[in-house]
Amino acid sequence: MAYKVTDMSKIRKVIKLHCSGKSKLFISNYLSLSRNTVND
Is residue 28 in a domain? yes
pLDDT digits (tens, 9 = 90+) for 2-40: 677 888 999 999 999 999 999 999 999 999 999 998 988
Question: Would you state the pLDDT for residue 18?
Answer: 94
Is residue 1 in a domain? no
Question: Would you state the pLDDT for residue 1?
Answer: 57
Q: Range of 26's domain? A: 8-39
Is residue 17 in a domain? yes
Spatial distance between the Cα atoms of 12 and 10, rounded to a whole number of angstroms? 5
Question: Would you state the pLDDT for residue 40?
Answer: 85
Domain count, the chain: 1
Is residue 26 in a domain? yes
27-36 burial by CB neighbour count: b if 16+ within 10 A, else e?
bbeebebeee
Is residue 3 in a domain? no
Question: Would you state the pLDDT for residue 5?
Answer: 80
Backbone angles phi, psi at 28, to 5 degrees: -65, -40
Is residue 18 in a domain? yes
Is residue 15 in a domain? yes
